[in-house]
Structure 1
Amino acid sequence: MKIFRKFWQSETGSIPIEGVYASLLLLGWLAVAFQISDAFRTRLLASRAAEAVGDLISREDNAIGPTYVAGVKKVFDFITRVPNSNYTWMRVTLIICSASADTNSCDGTTKAFTLVNSYSTAESNGIHKHTQTTINLDADRIPVMAAGDSAVILETSMRYYPIFGIGDRAFRTGGSTAFTTMGLSEKLRFSNFVVTRPRGPRNVWDDTK
């Protein structure tokens, strides 16, 4: 106890050693700050890429199909600069608001949206194309549409690949629960749901395109 009391009361120290400790803390803080900043940058990039591709599809005058969707996915991958095409998936859905005598708009509740067609680039990975039932489950994400109106729904998802992998490392207190995780791991995905009206003629689906 005398040794600990003496150590506690001592005011001596070494500036180089304290400088090393401080520099390690500073470098760690800079790494975390840079990682978080990069995550926000990547999230913004994924959002802008989704909006750009959605606008590209809405301006298409010709029929679109699986080949076309695969092509615009390459555009999305190029904009987001993903290292591998498996990091992203895309789902394109065409819907219309069918005319009705009792209502002049579709909101997914009092009058459901009508599915024209849907296609997913990750069908084999469990990301299935929309059905008439599933598309109306997203009614709160789709603006109210006038009777006879149509829209293109573009869903994109991009896996985040952190530079330092800080989110995949954590300190544990002997149990299985980690208390220092940041959430910035490779399990994090940036997803977007973009609804766009056709800029010209209504988009048409063709399985051969």
Structure 2
Amino acid sequence: MRRALHRILRRPLARFARRETASLTVEVMIMFPVLLWAFAGTFVFFDMFRENSVSEKAAYTVGDMLSRETDAITPTYMDNTLTLFSTLSGIPAENIGLRVSVIRWDGDDEVYDLRWSQARGGATALDADEVETWEDVLPIMVDDEQIILVETFSRYTPFLDVGLGTMTLDTFVYTRPRFAPQLVWEG
């Protein structure tokens, strides 16, 4: 029975394998989903980088605003800073976190010293132990110089499912105080 079936199907299968008609339809059926996924993925990646860029620009604005401040920073000021960041970035406040820290370089001990850190939204305040391990990411500073570190965390959910899933976009911006020697926390 097997041999008979093999003999019967051998010629039609060989003829089908040699034919080249309708191969375009098969190729389109194979490639169209891949092309569609790549097209959708391009839009998602572009949107993700756009949102990251807007978030980074908003973080630079917040850092610049804080660097020009001569009065002490209060809890209300920090709450309004989160609102400003949300407005500038266009990201809803429930999807973002903001952390502002003031870090000083101690030239005698050659260590970064955390002066104060405050967080709003989904972020947590910076720990002094964390700062000591950041030699690679913080700038070189002179003795007793301070910087204002603004970190933002925003939750990004792609508008199309191309395999990325929800992710957190982080920004890390530092600025030196401009009009006052230090930025003081009052709260």
Q: TM-score range by the shorter chain?
A: 0.7 to 0.9
Contact 2:37–2:162, Cα closer than 8 Å, also in 1: no
Counterpart Cα distance in 2 of 1:49 and 1:4:
64
RMSD: 2.5
Which of these residues, 178, 184, 187, is aligned with residue 204 of structure 1?
184
Q: Percent identity?
A: 28
C-alpha displacement at 1:18, in angstroms? 5.8
Q: Which runs of 5+ in 1 are unaligned?
A: 99-104, 168-183
Instruction: Identify if the C-alpha distance between structure 1 residues 26 and 119 changes in structure 2 by more than 3 Å, giving closer, same or farther.
Output: same
Under a length normalisation based on structure 1, what TM-score does the superposition of the two structures give?
Answer: 0.73
C-alpha displacement at 1:195, in angstroms? 1.3
2:4 corresponds to which residue? none
Instruction: Identify if the C-alpha distance between structure 1 residues 42 and 5 changes in structure 2 by more than 3 Å, giving closer, same or farther.
Output: farther
Paired letter, 1:60: E
2:6 corresponds to which residue? none
- Hey, which of these two has a bigger chunk of helix by percent? 2
Counterpart Cα distance in 2 of 1:52 and 1:29:
34
1:95 corresponds to which residue? 103
Paired letter, 2:99: R
Which of these residues, 58, 75, 95, is aligned with residue 49 of structure 1?
58
1:180 corresponds to which residue? none
Q: CA offsets per residue over residues 92-119 of structure 1, 9 Å max, x none? A: 1112335xxxxxx37xxx5222322111
Q: CA offsets per residue over residues 31-50 of structure 1, 9 Å max, x none? A: 12211222222222222221
User: Is residue 40 of structure 2 the alignment partner of residue 37 of structure 1?
Assistant: no
Which of these residues, 81, 88, 94, is aligned with residue 86 of structure 1?
94
C-alpha displacement at 1:24, in angstroms? 4.8
Under a length normalisation based on structure 2, what TM-score does the superposition of the two structures give?
Answer: 0.80
Q: Secondary structure at the match of 2:186?
A: coil
Q: Runs of 4 or more off by more than 4 Å in structure 1?
A: 17-20, 22-25
Q: CA offsets per residue over residues 60-100 of structure 1, 9 Å max, x none? A: 12111222122111222222212x322111111112335xx
Counterpart Cα distance in 2 of 1:128 and 1:28:
37
Q: Secondary structure at the match of 1:200?
A: coil
1:67 corresponds to which residue? 76
Counterpart Cα distance in 2 of 1:194 and 1:205:
19
- Hey, which of these two has a bigger chunk of strand by percent? 2
User: Is residue 148 of structure 2 the alignment partner of residue 189 of structure 1?
Assistant: no
C-alpha displacement at 1:192, in angstroms? 1.4
Number of aligned residues: 176
Counterpart Cα distance in 2 of 1:4 and 1:43:
55
Q: Secondary structure at the match of 2:136?
A: helix
Contact 2:118–2:126, Cα closer than 8 Å, also in 1: yes
Which of these residues, 123, 141, 147, is aligned with residue 145 of structure 1?
141
Q: Which runs of 5+ in 2 are unaligned?
A: 1-8
